[in-house]
Amino acid sequence: MKKISTAMLAMVLAAPMSSVHAEEIVKKPMVEVKEQQGIEGIKDVVEENLEVDNSEEWLDDIIEEKPVEEVIEEGYENLGPMIFKASAVSSKIAANNEGDYFIYYIMHGSPAALVVVDYKSKEILHTFTLEDSKSAWGLDVDENGKLWVGGSVSSILYSYDPNEEVFEKHGAIFSNKSDTSIQDLIVSGNKVYAGSAYGGSLVAFDTETKEIEEFGQIRKRKEFVKAIVADEDKDEIYVSIGSPMDLLVKKPNTKNFTSFLPAKYMSEKYAQDLVLTDNYIIARLHPSNMAVIFDRKTLKIVDEFELSSKTVSAVSPNGEGIYYTKGQQLIKYEFETKMHTELGVYLPKGTEAINLDFIVKNPKLPNEEGTEGQSENTVPGAVTAPKVESGVKNTEIIVPNPALPIIVPPLKENPNGNNPSEEPLEEPKEWILSGMVDNLGQIFEYNPQTGELQYHNFNLPEQPVELYTLASSSDGKHIYANGYMSGGLGVYNVATGNKELYRNISQVESMFEINNKLYIGAYPLARLLVYDRSIPWGVGNPAEVIRMSSHGQERSTAVAPYNKGKEIVLGTLPDTSVGGGALVFYDTSTKKTEIYEDYIYNQSIVSLVSRGTQVFGGTSIHANQQVNPRGARLFYFDRFNPEAKKYIHLPFSSSMITSLIVDKENYVWGMADGKLFKYKDEWTDIKSVELLPLISGRFRNAQILEGVDGYIYGSVEGKLFRVTKDSLQVEWLKDNGVYGLEQDLNGNLYYYDGSNLWRYTIEKNRGKQAESAGK
């Protein structure tokens, strides 16, 4: 294991940037970073974590709220970010109006960032913070080379003009509060078309007048517009909505969208990308990995084929066809012959193309003068050094030291299979196919003229990662934090304030520490990992002990100890199985597992806790991308006979029971939607109190615990509260920005807001800590 240590310093957060000419340097973490060298022991986990864009599924796992102005109240302390990672979720390669090409990366984070790379020099020119966004999937370039970006959280539209090096924030472009995330955007003429989640709306933003045309929700009960293409000249708009999928078109002189999806594809979730040519519309379907080609005039299927890349390219500059990848190999498809040509060149192992763009070498420019003395790739007016605007705060040019490109010689002299003597007399354009292949930002360059393939890696700037799951050590001396999408495990030392960052672990749905071992319910593939804190983080630690994907399970949504940690109980959320989530027991001594499939029919197990020989569990009505019409179930069983489960009938209905604890008096407490309830036994009435009338999400919206001062503390929908045990009197402590909830050995509470870990010092301990600090 290789350790890279840096001194623990105070994190200085960058100042807010203005909407124009704003640029920010994203600092690297001032924490002890522990990485693995030769991580074959958890290779599967690492490779799965590279594809962080799992936002393709379960888009509404987290309902992103619009940011509010931060006011730090007495007793609350911002401990700063815990996890940093360079995760490129989307990319685009395009030229400015002088023919200079740039690579645009969207870096996932809280907040997200736009990174601009000079394609020729491979130098990073700018890093812009995408305020009010945690990610961005919609990228397109207008006819002047101006980049347009659609953000998340507040449906913000951004732009970057490479001709003037100006970044601008245009604000929210959807009026519906449900439309919090721009899922895709496309530029046609002077219009930017954008589609949203979770209101499933479409708008058109005029780049000249700044006016917004709203088309509203495309179809009732369809939560998102996933992909868009438009032809402003022909007045045609095509959209993919879901879920399940529908494909719709708005033709000239019509007000409504018309479906043209064939019945055989109605079970798909959506088309994750659409590509428009003069004669065809191509839909890249999810999850079937099919590309379906429709005739634009008849809207009938003319061809379909399987692929692995996230999309297909536009038509190549020579007009011969489009490109895609399958099994890591580049393949060319020709519309006229419907022929697929395997090019014999392969992307790195375990990768596929995320985007596919063309770079035209030496393009002929308007009023072009002579180019004598210029290199082959140089175009007139090329910018050789970035121009730094004066008066811009926190401005710096980050210059990476990219690794030398790996050159893969072609397996065929001419991948097009043509005799050079039979080529047209007219000299064809010289061009390159390029694109991103992984979330590290690695790109490939394929030259069809020579058949060569090259790779380029970049030291992209790390961003603070939004936190997702918290846990406390059994002795209360450490707080564990995991990052949304990007994964990672941050460990906060309560006594010293030091932070450790462990990489190479994916998103965590639930975790619990006992006996100095952290049991981790990891996503995807519904895995259970065991991290032994007594030995170094490295190969085989954490160790994977259970993988429930073969049983149709996708997420390990509940992890709890039984019998002082001699067994670990696991509950899962299904993705493709027929029934519900699984209940699993893992014996920590014998390493044996005991599995009960479809434990609660068509529901997911999302909370677990043990009391003596009894195990209590709560469910969510969301399973298999469906909603069970029957309400969430509270159940219990004796460990010696799990199949003989009994249901506890709550005096109200709910969609999910998201948190269960047992207090010192042996009462079972739980959160069911926005209600807190208290259960003793089947002969005693259940007491409850409503905290909120409405909630969001599918399986996590609340967390409760028993405080050292005798109160029940909880967070629900971002609000912090405490409740007296006897009278159930509710006191609201904070009305926003509180997610997850854990407790240290002093009784202080920890929660997260975005990428930051926070601490709340309750009244009983505030004086004690002040007295301790004065010694």
Q: How far is CA 729 from the centre of its chain?
A: 38
Identity at 720, one-letter amino acid code:
L
What confidence score (pLDDT) does residue 325 get? 98
3-state secondary structure of 41: helix
Q: Which two tokens stand for residue 430?
A: 């010289």
What's the one-letter identity of residue 251?
Answer: K
Q: Map 50-102 to HEC letters.
A: HCCCHHHCCCCCCCCCCCCCCCCCCCEEEEEECCEECCEEEEEEEECCCCCEE
Q: Please count the residues of the chain.
A: 775
pLDDT tier for residue 11 given thresholds of 50, 70 and 90: very low
Residue 766 banded pLDDT, cuts 50, 70, 90: low
CA distance 709 to 763: 9
Mean pLDDT for the stretch of residues 654-665: 96
pLDDT at 382 over 90: no
Mean of the pLDDT values across residues 634-654? Answer: 96
Say whether pLDDT at 630 is over 60. Answer: yes
Residue 393, SS3 per DSSP: coil
**Quick one: average pLDDT of 754-772?**
75
| Higher pLDDT pick, 349 / 379 | 349
Q: Which amino acid is at 119?
A: Y
- Positive or negative, the Cα torsion across 382, 386, 392, 398? positive
At 31 the pLDDT is 57
Q: If you average pLDDT over residues 12-26, what whole number do you get?
A: 33
More confident residue, 237 or 412: 237
Q: In 223-338, which ranges are E strands?
A: 224-231, 236-242, 246-250, 258-259, 270-276, 280-286, 290-295, 301-306, 322-326, 329-334
Written as six digits, the tokens of 664 are 């010192």
Average pLDDT over residues 648-668: 96
pLDDT of residue 73: 74
Any idea of the CA torsion for 751, 754, 756, 762, to the nearest 10 degrees?
A: -30
The pLDDT, as a whole number, for residue 767 is: 55
Name the band, by pLDDT with cuts 50, 70 and 90, for residue 742. Answer: very high
Examine the pLDDT at 667 and tell me if it is beyond 70: yes
- Asked if 151 and 157 touch (Cβ cutoff 8 Å), the reply is yes
Element (H, E) at 764: helix 763-773
Is the pLDDT higher at 520 or at 253?
A: 520
Rounded Cα–Cα distance for residues 460 and 188 (Å): 30
Asked whether residue 453 carries a pLDDT value surpassing 80, the answer given is yes
> Does 247 have pLDDT greater than 70?
yes
CA 593 vs. chain centroid, Å, equals 31
Q: What is the mean pLDDT of residues 191-199?
A: 95
Residue 54 has pLDDT above 80, yes or no: no
Condensed to tens digits (0 to 9), the pLDDT of residues 196-208 reads 998 999 999 999 9
Contact 450, 432 (CB under 8 A): no
Which residues face 752 on adjacent strands?
739, 757
Q: Is a pLDDT exceeding 80 seen at residue 407?
A: no
Query: How far apart are alpha carbons 719 and 734 in whole angstroms?
Result: 6
What is the C-alpha separation between 201 and 207, in angstroms, rounded?
A: 19
Please state the φ and ψ torsions of residue 765, each to the nearest 5 degrees: -105, -10
Query: DSSP assignment, residue 20?
Result: B
639 in Cβ contact with 718 (< 8 Å): no
Give the C-alpha separation, 476 to 529, whole Å.
21
- pLDDT tops 70 at residue 434: yes
- Does residue 405 carry a pLDDT above 80? no
**pLDDT of 398 strictly over 60:** no
Q: Does the pLDDT of residue 261 top 90, yes or no? A: yes
Is 371's pLDDT higher than 70? no
pLDDT value at 163 more than 60:
yes
The arithmetic mean of pLDDT across residues 141-160, rounded, is: 95
* Predicted local distance difference test score (pLDDT) of residue 15: 30
pLDDT at 575: 80
Q: Look up the pTM and report it.
A: 0.76
Tell me what the mean pLDDT of segment 540-548 comes to.
Answer: 96
Q: How far apart are CA 420 and CA 183, in angstroms?
A: 44
Whether the Cβ atoms of residue 278 and residue 293 lie closer than 8 Å to each other: no
pLDDT greater than 60 at residue 60? no
| Token representation of residue 626 | 């469906």
Note the pLDDT of residue 472.
Answer: 98
- In this predicted model, what pLDDT tens digit does every residue of 128-138 receive, in sequence order? 999 999 889 99
Q: How many CB atoms lie within 10 A of CB 509?
A: 27
Look at residue 768 in the predicted model and tell me its pLDDT. Answer: 53
Give the pLDDT confidence of 679-729 residue by residue, as tens digits: 999 999 999 999 999 888 888 899 999 999 999 999 999 999 999 999 999
Q: Which amino acid is at 581?
A: G
> What's the whole-number average pLDDT of the chain?
84
Rounded to an integer, what is the distance from CA 600 to the centroid of its chain? 29
What is the per-residue DSSP string for 660-717? EEE-TTS-EEEEETTEEEEE--TTSPPEEEES-S----SS-SEEEEE-TTSPEEEEET
pLDDT at 551 over 90: yes
What confidence score (pLDDT) does residue 395 get?
28
* Confidence class for position 290, pLDDT limits 50, 70, 90: very high
Per-residue 3-state assignment (H helix, E strand, C coil) for 695-710 = CCCCCCCEEEEECCCC
Can you give the pLDDT at residue 772? 47
User: What secondary structure letter does DSSP report for 387?
Assistant: P
Does pLDDT of 37 surpass 90? Answer: no
Q: Which residue has better confidence, 772 or 447?
A: 447
| Order of strands across the sheet that contains 712-716 | 702-706, 712-716, 719-723, 730-734
pLDDT band with cut points at 50, 70 and 90 for residue 431? very high
Query: Mean pLDDT over residues 296-311, rounded?
Result: 97
Residues 331-362 have pLDDT tens digits of 999 999 999 999 999 999 999 999 999 999 86
Question: CB neighbours of 154 closer than 8 A, spacing ≥ 6?
Answer: 66, 67, 132, 133, 172, 180
Question: Half-sphere exposure of 123 toward its Cβ, with a 13 Å CA cutoff?
Answer: 10
Taking 90 as the threshold, does the pLDDT of residue 448 lie above it? Answer: yes
More confident residue, 571 or 25: 571
Compute the average pLDDT of residues 229-234.
Answer: 94
Decide if pLDDT at 55 tops 50: no
CA distances from 658 to 218, 303, 604, 623, 661 (A): 32, 46, 11, 14, 11
Residue 377 has pLDDT above 60, yes or no: no
The pLDDT, as a whole number, for residue 410 is: 43
pLDDT band at 221 (very low <50, low <70, confident <90, very high): confident
What tokens were used for 539?
Answer: 């190969």
Which pLDDT belongs to residue 12?
Answer: 27
- What is the spatial distance between Cα 514 and Cα 474, in angstroms, rounded to a whole number? 6
Per residue, the 3-state secondary structure of 190-255, as one string, reads CEEEEEEECCCEEEEEECCCCCEEEEEECCCCCCEEEEEEEECCCCEEEEEEECCCEEEEECCCCC
For residue 663, the number of C-alpha atoms closer than 13 Å in the C-beta half-sphere is: 22
In angstroms, the CA 489 to CA 502 distance is: 5
| Half-sphere exposure for 233 (CA within 13 Å, toward CB) | 1
